[in-house]
Amino acid sequence: MDIYKTKRSWIILNQLILGAGFAAIAFSLHTSKSIQYSLAFFWLVAFSSATHDIAADGFYMLGLDTHNQAFFVGIRSMFYRFAMILGQGILVMLVGYLQTHTPSFLSSFAINAGQSMQAAWISIFVLLALLYFVFAIYHGFLLPKPEQDRNKVVAPADLVKEFWQTIVLFFKKKNILLIICFLLIYRLGEAQLLKLAAPFFLDAKNSGGLGLTTWQVGFVYGTVGVIALMVGGFLGGLAGAKGGLKKWIWWMFLAINIPHVLYILLAFIQPDSFLVINCFVALEQFGYGFGFSAYMMYMLYIADGEYKTAHYAIATGFMALSMMLPGLVSGYIQQFLGYKLFFIWILITMIPGYFIVRMLPIDANFGKEKTGSV
């Protein structure tokens, strides 16, 4: 992607592929081999989606200066959450509605009542296909064309060499071991908490949990928590754009870790008040949203250079690894310690991150608005 074509062209191309992929899924669901065909097209959609994300991240860095990158980092996170709610919530709810209220235009897909679910999913995938075709046309006309967004002329024989060069240069960055440690450890506590929050809410009080219902957990974590997370991320982006990453990274590190004290209190007190639980979770998620802004800005900071798109993609790989590895063992740790000691353990795991953040060399001007800029 850093070698061929522009990030703008990759974005539009992958939106067209996504539209075609969703259309293919829709039409494959009515065939005798729907599972095999739909899985193949889902693979295409997943691959194109990941490619689109990389292109969009690269375009974001090329189209904006560092101040605006910092300013919009919280807004990006907020719209990502909106997309998750739309894809995993609203569209699924719409499928349920269409299943029980099959419109006349879907009747040809639903031969009998047992196929109403199939017809509903077909309609959703057709809708997604149309949306992505519209997105591609819209962006084809309105996306800007940054001067830096241009392809690199590379002979086919040098393609493999150039590909490995992008990876080698990332691991040759100054302080690369410190960078990797930051990417893996900054969210160590949150990575463990994320896997055990829902079981903690659902488990009975005599098992150390809060004894909430599934509906209550969905409301507190999927509604109140998401709203607080988005607000925290938005304000984090504003703060980073105002004072720069170096000024705010320490406070953001505290914001993502200190609120874990609230889970310790919940585990010891086990309040009956649903309002209190909502307030505690909102504060913790607000801190996470605010603190995660520093992580996003730091990835932009270390990706800067000749291959910023590829290097940002590598950083996001470490970001995913930072959530996956602690999550794999967090359940075993909780079973061994119990909820009370587990949440205390989570708070203690901020200590390595404290020393790493203190050692990070960061340009004091990164993220700040340049004097005289409009």
Classify burial at 371, counting beta carbons within 10 Å of its beta carbon; exposed 0-12, middle 13-18, buried 19 or more.
exposed
The pLDDT tens digits for 213-252 are 888 888 888 788 888 988 998 899 888 888 888 999 999 9
What's the average model confidence in pLDDT over 158-185? Answer: 86
- Do both 96 and 235 map to the same domain? no
Mean pLDDT score, 92-97: 76
The rounded distance, in Å, linking the Cα atoms of 203 and 274 is 15
Assess whether 232 and 350 both reside in one domain: yes
Highest-scoring range by mean pLDDT, 7-11, 120-124, 154-158: 7-11
**Enclosing H/E stretch for 374:** none
Q: Are residues 247 and 294 in the same domain?
A: yes
102 domain-assigned? yes
- Note whether 290 and 199 are same-domain residues: yes
- Grade residue 110 by pLDDT with cuts at 50, 70 and 90: very low
Distance separating alpha carbons of residues 242 and 244, to the nearest angstrom: 6
Question: Which string of b and e fits 224-247 if b means at least 16 CB within 10 Å?
Answer: bbbbbbbbbbbbbbbbbbeebbbb
Q: 85, 118, 140: which is the final residue of a domain?
A: 140
Percent of the chain with pLDDT over 70: 90
Kindly state whether residue 304 falls inside one of the protein's structural domains: yes
Buried-exposed string 339-354: b where 16+ CB fall within 10 A, e elsewhere: beebbbbbbebbeebe
CA distance linking residue 351 with residue 257, whole number of Å: 10
Q: Is residue 365 part of a domain?
A: no
In a domain, 165, yes or no: no
Asked whether residue 135 falls in the same domain as residue 196, the answer is no
Nearest to 74, CA basis, from 219, 242, 319? 242
Burial of 120 (0-12, 13-18, 19+ CB in 10 A): buried
Tell me how far CA of residue 276 lies from CA of 87, 280, 306, 342, in angstroms. 30, 6, 50, 21
Q: Are residues 125 and 212 in the same domain?
A: no
2 assigned to some structural domain: no
Helices and strands (H, E) in the chain, number of each type:
15, 0
Residue 179 shares a structural domain with residue 125: no
The whole-chain average pLDDT of the chain stands at 85
Residue 150 phi, psi dihedral angles, 5° rounding: -140, 155
Residue range of the domain that includes 260: 174-359
Kindly state whether residues 87 and 14 are assigned to the same domain: yes
Do 88 and 192 lie in a common domain?
no
- On whether residue 164 sits in a domain, the answer given is no
Q: Is residue 168 part of a domain?
A: no
Residue 103: the pLDDT is: 60
User: pLDDT, tens digit, for every residue of 303-360?
Assistant: 887 778 888 889 988 998 999 999 889 999 999 999 999 999 999 999 999 999 999 9
Q: How far apart are CA 164 and CA 25, in angstroms?
A: 35
Report the number of distinct structural domains present in the chain: 2
CATH code, domain carrying 200: 1.20.1250.20
Using one digit for the tens of pLDDT, what is the confidence trace for 99-109? Answer: 776 665 555 55
One domain for residues 187 and 294: yes
Residues 263 and 332 in one domain: yes
pLDDT tens digits, one per residue of 172-224: 898 999 999 999 999 999 999 988 998 999 999 999 999 988 888 888 887 88
Residue 113 has a pLDDT of 45
Beta-carbon contacts of residue 269 (< 8 Å; ≥ 6 apart):
none
Going by C-alpha positions, the residue among 67, 62, 63 that lies closest to residue 363 is 67
Same domain, 199 and 324: yes
Give every CB contact of residue 176 below 8 A, 6+ residues apart in sequence.
170
CA-to-CA distance for 128 and 137, rounded, in angstroms?
A: 14
Nearest to 330 by CA among 199, 204, 174, 162: 199
From 114, 140, 166, the end of a domain falls on 140
The answer to whether residue 374 is domain-embedded is no
